[in-house]
A and B are shown apart, each in its own frame.
Chain A
Amino acid sequence: MGKNLAEKILQKHSPEEIKKPGQIIPCRVSLVLANDITAPLAVDSFRKMQAPRVFDADKIALVCDHFTPNKDIASAEQVQKVRRFAREMNITHYYEGGNVGVEHALLPELGLVGPGDVVVGADSHTCTYGGLGAFATGMGSTDIAAAMALGETWFKIPETIRVNMNGSLDEFTTSKDLILNLIGRIKVDGALYRALEFAGDTLAELDAEARMTMANMAIEAGGKAGLFPVDQVTLDYCREHGRLGDDLLEPDGQAGYCMQVDMQVSGMPPQIACPHLPDNVAGVDDLGEIKVDQVVLGSCTNGRISDLRQAAHILKDRKVDKNVRFIVLPATPKIYAQALEEGLLEIFLKAGGIIGPPTCGPCLGGHMGILASGETCLATTNRNFKGRMGSLESKVYLGSPYVAASTAVAGRIIHPARV
């Protein structure tokens, strides 16, 4: 019996022979991540574990991206706690100021995660790195503290769902639409305790950023990981971002899957997840009239340069509706600089958008775009749970950067081809 991607990667990092799903294995980790919300708890647990030091000061990333720039005294004190720990342990990859970006956009950009790695992060969207062929998964702070101390963790080998995507993307259809469509089909617990593995000829149309957008939302189907094979596209991306020595990676021919899902991509319109779950998905034209008060472009799902380019393509020489707050948060300083250089920020500003710093901010109802009761937002983020972005009486719709831009212009959710 061959191995699927999850099994192949985990085997490389475990001394135990992987035989079947359900098996529990110890596993060495390539990188351990926490942020300004989860690291303070991890620090508390680390102290209680009485570990004298971290296992490797170069293999821990502490990224203060959620409530930064610090939104209040309490959040500033949380960051201070993380900063002190980072200094005490000589953590190489500590990010807080002008070098900080949204963690899952930042780490790939820095070349800190890539093919064949095992990455654990105290953030559920750690699965993003599966877009680059890493087995990456979210955990809680105490599991992360254990990994910081020991350099290893334990995993239950997940079953894998194979997702075969075939056909060609329509002009305004993106990888965000593919993942929303998939979650709409298998539902928010469809991949519970399982990994998703993506395959099919559509992969050739998806660049590394598009793949990370899809892997990012594996958790929204309950998935432990969302894995893409490593091809030349991945290797080029990784080399460009300073990594050397990565190899191609594909599942074995006779690998085991618990389920196969076939997706015909051609002709799929942009998809929208309606309140209050990411699996409440419909085609953009099937919604009826939905007016919005706010549009957010950004996050670990869709705050990368290709996302900003897509939105700018629609917004060029257009104006944001006067009743809409259009908030743009480039996910990292590098993306910000690139968007400035390409004239994208000028397009957003002239259109009437608000450009903020790299931060997770509004996605989780933290700051920089909180919703009042009765307000509606269309966001390129990943969750639309009740109250996620503010008031329990507010609503969040999820869509692609193209749809975010067209919605900002029209003041209602609309197909990008119709503005």
Chain B
Amino acid sequence: MHFKGKAHKVGDHIDTDAIIPARFLVTTDPEELGRNCMAGLEENWVSRINKGDILLGGKNFGCGSSREHAPIAILGAGIPVVVAHSFARIFYRNGFNMGLVLLEVGDEISRLSDGDELEIKALEGKIINHTTGDTVNSLPVPEFMADILAKGGLINYVREKAA
């Protein structure tokens, strides 16, 4: 749960059609979805991403369609963590279920900029900005969701329960 990478910032209300347009939803393959990550925002957006880079979102990140392909596309693009002002509800749940780390920071998001070099200690909720020397704290992960993460994700949780 320790990440280091370059930040890529997007705006408020980034919807899941922007994250992965419907025309790409004819597959469930993470790599293929990853190649088209953010294609609804800008063509070829993904070409700027190096594996391990970090996505910065504004308000209500992931609003709209419930497509789980959205967190899968972000992971498929090589991005393990999203830091945002706030997340849309369905996306937030999906992110955890898929193993994408989501950190909510509210207005503090303004202290993180496109291109910043960030280091993230997810369990401590610490986002260290090596470009500015600043540190931003995230809201704690809800206890119940941390439990699901601790049990290895929802799939493992159900596997135990359904057995």
Task: Name A residues whose Cβ lies closer than 8 Å to a Cβ of B.
Answer: 24, 37-38, 40-41, 44-45, 48-52, 66-67, 72, 74-75, 78, 121-124, 126, 138-143, 145-146, 149-150, 154, 156, 188-189, 192-193, 219, 222, 224, 277, 364-366, 383, 385-388, 392
Contacts and interface: CB of A to CB of B under 8 A. Distances in A.
Contacts of B43: 392
A140 B23 contact: no
B155 interface: yes
Nearest to B71: A140
B15 A154 contact: no
Contacts of A219: 64
A364 B17 contact: yes
Contact of B21 (A38, A50, A189, A365): A365
Interface in B5-26: 13, 15, 17-18, 21-23, 25-26
Given A37-B25, A49-B159, A139-B90, A123 B66 contact: yes
B40 interface: yes
27 contacts: A37-B67, A38-B66, A41-B28, A41-B72, A50-B159, A51-B158, A74-B26, A75-B26, A122-B66, A123-B66, A140-B97, A142-B154, A143-B97, A145-B158, A146-B154, A188-B13, A189-B60, A192-B88, A193-B89, A222-B89, A364-B65, A383-B64, A385-B64, A386-B17, A387-B40, A388-B17, A392-B42
A124 B67 CA distance: 8
Contacts of B118: none
Interface of B: 13, 15, 17-18, 21-23, 25-28, 40-43, 59-60, 63-69, 71-72, 86, 88-90, 93-94, 97-98, 142, 144, 154-155, 157-159, 161-163
Q: Which 3 pairs show the lowest CB-CB distances between chains A and B?
A: A74-B26, A140-B94, A140-B68
Contact of B154 (A143, A222, A387): A143
Contacts of A192: 60, 86, 88-89
B46 to A, nearest CB: 15
A154 B60 CA distance: 22
Contacts of A277: 13
Q: Which of B13, B59, B163 has the most CB of A within 10 A?
A: B13
Contacts of A74: 26-27
A149 B158 contact: yes
Given A365-B21, A386-B40, A388-B17, A222 B68 contact: no
